[in-house]
Structure 1
Amino acid sequence: MKIITIVGARPQFVKAAVVSRAIEKYNEESTGESIQELIVHTGQHFDENMSSIFFDQMGIPKPHYNLEINSLTHGAMTGKMLEKIEAVLLKEKPDWVLVYGDTNSTIAGALAAKKLHIKVAHVEAGLRSFNMEMPEEINRILTDRISDILFCPTQTAIDNLEKEGYANIKSDRIQCGDVMYDAVLFYADRASRPKGIEQTVDFVLSTIHRQENTDDPAKLTSIFDALGEIAEKQRVVLPLHPRTVKKLKEFNIVPAKNIQILDPVGYFEMIWLLSHCQMAITDSGGLQKEAFFFKKPCITVRDETEWVELVQNGSNYLTGHSKDLIIKAFNIIREKEIDFSKALYGKGDAGQIIVEELIKYSSIDLLKPKLGIIE
């Protein structure tokens, strides 16, 4: 069986590595046919840190194809990806195309495959923010609709698909757990303390990078005013995204002096910060979950989240950009005992489940008659 994995950003490489390790393990233990995986990097998020060191340190397979598509508008980027991914698929003729999450690379990979009648599996299916102004929401909805297998990280994701009528659509919905939980368990012992940070747990970790916050001067000012006030009570450590740096300068917003600004950190440094902080304040989807993995409460400075089970669990507070609500949530969390005992994201075996289901699905497919499927 040949699988082509489409990725376009650093987080997708980390997620895809979970499944790649499961494929490698299967090949080592299997007495039958092996699985061949080829990785295609669209280049969507151009990142100079994605050097050979990144792949070597994290044990991530290097891409077989690098399409080098970046710095374009959404339409131009997606169109160029469709063209180049199609060429790869025509050459390699895979049995499956595996896509992750909700980027332009995700929808382009799924569309290119489906147009060529190649089966599509979507990891992180069923997530919904219910905000159609987010490009990611459009990508994930469309990808779900054309996928053959929907690998859902949570019961909430399964429920979302059921509400959208997927019970009447010919696709399999499988609750496999979250591949990022697999990744955290795998990499936890490689955590590395960032330069300039003391060995202490007495700090709040913050990341702010989403366009909805950084491109609005009123929202960005409100968030940084809140962080400044919080930093008067507890140290705030803020790895600063380049987009945020640019917008702070553009809007003449000066972070409070008691906020400790860091250059962007790598994955090992981020999981060290998560494991040592007391709480997180973020607009990142991934960091919300990772805070939970490390049993840390989180304040999400957005109006909605895909990870509603965290809010329902009482470990995540949605505040939007409101300074008052951010500070209110901070004060509540400091005095509250939070339950982190629930296995909201599986048991850390999502990669294994995904590989097993792909093999099972392919075996069933081989038994179907060529001139029509008998139910």
Structure 2
Amino acid sequence: MHQEIAAIPDGGVAVVLGTRPEIIKLAGIIAELGPKACVIHTGQHYDTGLSDVFFTERGLPAPQVRFAVGGAGRGGQIGAGLASLDEWFARHRPVAVVVQGDTNATVTGALAANARRIPVVHVEAGLRSFDKTMPEEYNRIITDHLSDLLCAATEGNVENLAREGIGGAAVIRTGNTVVEAVRAALPGPDRCRALLAERGLAPGRYALVTVHRPENTDDAAALRTILTELHRFPCPVVLPLHPRTLGAVRRHGLVDLLDGLGVTGPLGSAEFLGLAAHAAFLVSDSGGVQEECTVLKRPLIVVRRSTERPEAMRDFAVLVSPGPLISKTAAEWWKDLPGLHRRLARLESPFGAGDASRRIVAEIARRFGTR
């Protein structure tokens, strides 16, 4: 443990997180909770570019409690985090514990709270890929079945929970906090123009790409195929490299395939969203980008075997495995990008109106007495 507060405030809520997406999606809830929030960072993402910068960008205080589980495998992270959280919850009892999504930090927070009989609030409950090769699928299922308040973003998520016997008053449909997170972090027009100018990019004339999931980075053939396909795009490529991806590129001997691509380090949320909002199209294996593209009104190629966000696939995204469909889809979209962009601009995001954080915090207060 690196740092700890003396005590949790009266009626306080512990917010357990460990990765960049969790920080982004929980920022609105932390802000709404105000002094009632005690943020516990497990350290799953410990690189400054994947963690601290996102607290700074959103004007949030640093986490009050930090652990150091990063660098270990999945079992090691969950085991170390569970031991640390259990010890902390034995000395500090919040009225509820909030977790988000499907990371190792998510399931760790839920398990530790449940063991101490502290109510668990799961933000983004009910997502299912129905793909048991994904560790995240187990994290989602376990967390949902341990939770006392399940905040489902969409009607499809509510239905997934009902099929598993989870329903009634425990489940509320809230929309997804990603909507307000994107709106809050998206830079204004002047800053967006500057971001593009700094990189020599023209609006609507480049692709923004992220790759980080194990199914793509641990598989040398898959990673080689994805990078090769990027060279076939009809436009420049901006490729922010996750540390895991950079390590995989080096390990698999694929460094030469980065030549000619616009490789950068990890980007802050505002910079990424500014570039994404003006890209011709996006390519990613990220779950969060599948949601963000529906707010930004940009088409997305999802390079994965499966997705837990079918809502995005209806209008904004297509799901493809590593292969020639990546560049073929890009070429097809390129033929009439203005028309595609106009069509998407008229559509509403399936993930809600942008008030999820407020609704979730109000429900926590109503049920668990944080006021």
| TM class by smaller structure | 0.7 to 0.9
**How far apart are 1:199 and its partner, in Å?**
4.8
**How far apart are 1:50 and its partner, in Å?**
6.2
Q: Secondary structure at the match of 1:106?
A: helix
Equivalent of 2:24 in 8, 14, 17? 14
Inter-partner Cα distance in structure 1 for 2:122 and 2:88: 19
Q: Is the 8 A contact 1:107 1:142 kept in 2?
A: yes
Q: Secondary structure at the match of 1:71?
A: coil
**How far apart are 1:333 and its partner, in Å?**
2.5
Equivalent of 1:277 in 260, 279, 285? 279
1:311 maps to what in 2?
313
1:57-83 CA distance string (max 9 Å, x none) = 321231111112221122222111111
Equivalent of 2:224 in 200, 221, 224? 221
Q: Is the 8 A contact 1:17 1:61 kept in 2?
A: no
**How far apart are 1:184 and its partner, in Å?**
0.9
Inter-partner Cα distance in structure 2 for 1:135 and 1:141: 10
Sort the Cα spacing of 1:222 and 1:199 in 2 relative to 1 into closer, same or farther, 3 A.
closer
Inter-partner Cα distance in structure 1 for 2:241 and 2:183: 26
**How far apart are 1:290 and its partner, in Å?**
1.2
Q: Is the 8 A contact 1:14 1:60 kept in 2?
A: no
Q: Is the 8 A contact 1:176 1:353 kept in 2?
A: yes
1:272-311 CA distance string (max 9 Å, x none) = 1111111001111111211221100000111111110111
1:36 maps to what in 2?
36
Q: Is the 8 A contact 2:238 2:262 kept in 1?
A: yes
1:339 maps to what in 2?
344
Q: Which amino acid aligns with 1:134?
A: M
Q: Secondary structure at the match of 2:366?
A: helix
Q: Secondary structure at the match of 1:339?
A: helix
1:163 maps to what in 2?
163
Unaligned ranges ≥5, structure 1: 25-34, 366-375
1:175 maps to what in 2?
173
2:211 maps to what in 1?
208
Report how many residues are paired. Answer: 349
Q: Is the 8 A contact 2:54 2:269 kept in 1?
A: no
Inter-partner Cα distance in structure 2 for 1:252 and 1:50: 25
1:175-221 CA distance string (max 9 Å, x none) = 11111111111122366627851252110111111111111121111
Inter-partner Cα distance in structure 2 for 1:343 and 1:286: 13
Q: Is the 8 A contact 2:187 2:274 kept in 1?
A: no
Q: Is the 8 A contact 2:187 2:270 kept in 1?
A: no
2:8 maps to what in 1?
none
Q: Secondary structure at the match of 2:187?
A: helix
Inter-partner Cα distance in structure 1 for 2:51 and 2:160: 38
Inter-partner Cα distance in structure 2 for 1:179 and 1:294: 14
Inter-partner Cα distance in structure 1 for 2:202 and 2:137: 38
Q: Which amino acid aligns with 1:211?
A: P
Mapping for residues 16-95 of structure 1, pairs under 5 Å: 16-24=26-34, 36-49=36-49, 54-95=54-95
Inter-partner Cα distance in structure 1 for 2:252 and 2:226: 13
Q: Secondary structure at the match of 1:39?
A: strand
Inter-partner Cα distance in structure 2 for 1:273 and 1:267: 10
Q: Is the 8 A contact 2:185 2:269 kept in 1?
A: no
**How far apart are 1:55 and its partner, in Å?**
2.9
Q: TM-score, normalised by structure 1?
A: 0.87
Q: Which amino acid aligns with 2:121?
A: A
Q: TM-score, normalised by structure 2?
A: 0.88
Inter-partner Cα distance in structure 2 for 1:205 and 1:308: 21
Q: Which amino acid aligns with 1:184?
A: V
Mapping for residues 350-361 of structure 1, pairs under 5 Å: 350-361=356-367
Q: Is the 8 A contact 1:228 1:256 kept in 2?
A: no
Q: Is the 8 A contact 2:210 2:240 kept in 1?
A: yes
2:325 maps to what in 1?
325
Q: Is the 8 A contact 1:194 1:265 kept in 2?
A: no
Mapping for residues 126-275 of structure 1, pairs under 5 Å: 126-167=126-167, 172-189=170-187, 193=195, 196-201=198-203, 202-230=205-233, 233-253=234-254, 254-255=256-257, 257-275=259-277
**How far apart are 1:49 and its partner, in Å?**
3.1
Q: Is the 8 A contact 1:129 1:137 kept in 2?
A: yes
Q: How much is the aligned-residue C-alpha RMSD, in angstroms?
A: 2.2
Q: Which has the higher contact order (CA 8 A, sep 6+)?
A: 2
Sort the Cα spacing of 1:54 and 1:195 in 2 relative to 1 into closer, same or farther, 3 A.
farther
Inter-partner Cα distance in structure 1 for 2:311 and 2:301: 14
Sort the Cα spacing of 1:199 and 1:249 in 2 relative to 1 into closer, same or farther, 3 A.
closer
1:29 maps to what in 2?
none
**How far apart are 1:124 and its partner, in Å?**
0.9
Inter-partner Cα distance in structure 2 for 1:343 and 1:244: 29
Inter-partner Cα distance in structure 1 for 2:364 and 2:293: 30
Inter-partner Cα distance in structure 1 for 2:304 and 2:36: 40
Percent identity over the alignment is 34
